[in-house]
Structure 1
Amino acid sequence: MAKAVLRQTVARRRRKMTEEEFLRLPDDGRKYELVDGEVKEVPAGVKHDVLALRLGAKLLACAGDRAYVAGSQAGFRMVTGNLRSPDVSVLLKERLPGGQLPEGFGERAPDLAIEIVSPSEDLPDLLRKVAEYFASGAQQVWLLFPEKQEVVVYRSPFELQTLRAEDELTGGELLPQFRLRVAELFAVE
Structure 2
Amino acid sequence: MILLKTRTPLMTVDDFYDFVNRPENRARSFELVRGEVIEVSRPRRPHGFICGNAARKLANFTFRKKKGYITTNDTGIILEHDPGSVRGADIAYYEDAKNFEGLPEKWGDTVPRLIVEVLSPNDTAQYILEKIGDYFRGGVELVWVIDPDSRRVNAYSRDHGVQTLTEKDTLTGGDVLPGFRCKVADLFVLPEAAKASVKKVKRKRNQ
Q: Give TM-score, length-normalised by structure 2.
A: 0.74
In the superposition, relative to structure 1, how do residues 111 and 162 fare at CA in structure 2: closer, same or farther (>3 Å)? same
CA contact (8 A) 1:139 1:155 kept: yes
Alignment match, 2:205: none
Greater share of strand: 2
Partner SS state of residue 54, structure 1: helix
- Which contiguous aligned blocks of 4+ residues in structure 1 show a shift greater than 6 angstroms? none
Which of 102, 105, 108 is residue 103 of structure 1 equivalent to?
A: 105
Aligned to 2:3: none
Q: 2:30 aligns with which of 29, 32, 36?
A: 32
Whole-angstrom CA distance in 2 between matches of 1:51 and 1:121 = 16
CA contact (8 A) 2:115 2:144 kept: yes
**Residues 73 and 13 (structure 1), Cα distance of their counterparts in 2 relative to 1, 3 Å cut:** closer
Q: Aligned partners of 2:69 and 2:182: how far apart in 1?
A: 19
Match 1:85 to one of 85, 88, 96:
88
Aligned-residue identity in percent: 33
Deviations 1:144-185 (A, max 9, x none): 111110100011176010001100011122222321111111
Q: Residue 88 of structure 1 aligns to which amino acid in structure 2?
A: I
Q: Structure 1 CA distance, aligned partners of 2:118 and 2:68?
A: 21
Question: Match of 1:75, SS?
Answer: strand
In structure 1, runs of 5+ residues without a counterpart are 1-11
1-structure distance, mates of 2:15, 2:184: 40
Moved more, 134-143 or 18-27: 18-27
Contact residue 109 and residue 134 of structure 1 kept, 8 A: no
Determine which of 116, 121, 124 is the counterpart of 2:123: 121
Aligned residues: 175
Correspondence 1:15 to 2:18:
no
RMSD after superposition: 2.6
Asked whether the equivalents of residues 76 and 86 of structure 2 are also in contact (C-alpha less than 8 Å), the reply is yes
74 and 186 in structure 1: CA distance in 2 versus 1, 3 angstrom threshold: same
Q: How many angstroms apart in 1 are the aligned matches of 2:186 and 2:28?
A: 28
Aligned to 2:185: 183
Please name the residue that 1:76 is paired with: 77
Letter in 2 for 1:72: N
